[in-house]
Structure 1
């Protein structure tokens, strides 16, 4: 989980902050490494592609300030690096593995990861309430929630609304700290 919004991490990287660069790489390493792995490259080739992608990211940091576009940019750059590596090695780029996640699935996983980070930042009673309401396989009634969470039944709806608003602010701040507003 990043300790700050991605746009701040990128800004710190541009100012030469080595710990910010490590944070940037750590935040995106699984995403970048997964693409050559799922396309059948061996560990050595995956490492080469990984280095190529993050070198390109380092050189392009000033254009990566839009936090929303970073994962898509990294995916595109990684796919291109895979093709370049395959061509350079005179390898035929393998067909995508059946059942491997496509770009839409990767986007979904990124959004889910952002949601989890937001819930972790939200913490406490709000996190507990939102998970109890929205993440159970079977819908739970307000009477049961009231009993389980120790919240008066009539307070669950308004509390849920306030918690969702806080979560929305957190999610906006993760992608753009200026979105917090006053």
Structure 2
């Protein structure tokens, strides 16, 4: 049912072959035939990033909208949650590592200053996480009954906004500490703003 091309633009940007290779490399491929294979789980997680404010079922409907000619059964919220847990974070991390990096070609306008590729660090410390025991144990308990917050630091190619790298963790550690973790991604042809 979930053949190449069935996920529209998402499959065009992240080919099935790449997803399958990442799943094999991270040993996250399902071991038996399933109605919701691991490959579908990766695309579901990517779609969740595109639509962060909606629930599992609405994300699923958006993801499978192009399958209207096929008899697609909508899975339960529990089935989608289990799929998300089964896939885990290792394939998503590896997929990011494969796809991240500068995109601009040497002649792309607006991405260079002389011979230097322009990049910048960008941090954010207001990402809310679910208020769970596990997140509070890792991130600490927020004051005033709020949600635990996550610090995100990215290294970005400024002209294309392509992510070169990203790290995240406790807000108490600070942006400078997280930026240092991305220094290994800088090359001699980059100018940091």
TM over 0.5: no
TM-score normalised by the chain length of structure 2: 0.29
Q: RCO greater where, 1 or 2, for CA within 8 Å and sep 6 or more?
A: 1
Compare the two structures and name the one with the higher helix fraction: 1
Q: Which has the higher Rg, Structure 1 or Structure 2?
A: 1
Compare the two structures and name the one with the higher strand fraction: 2
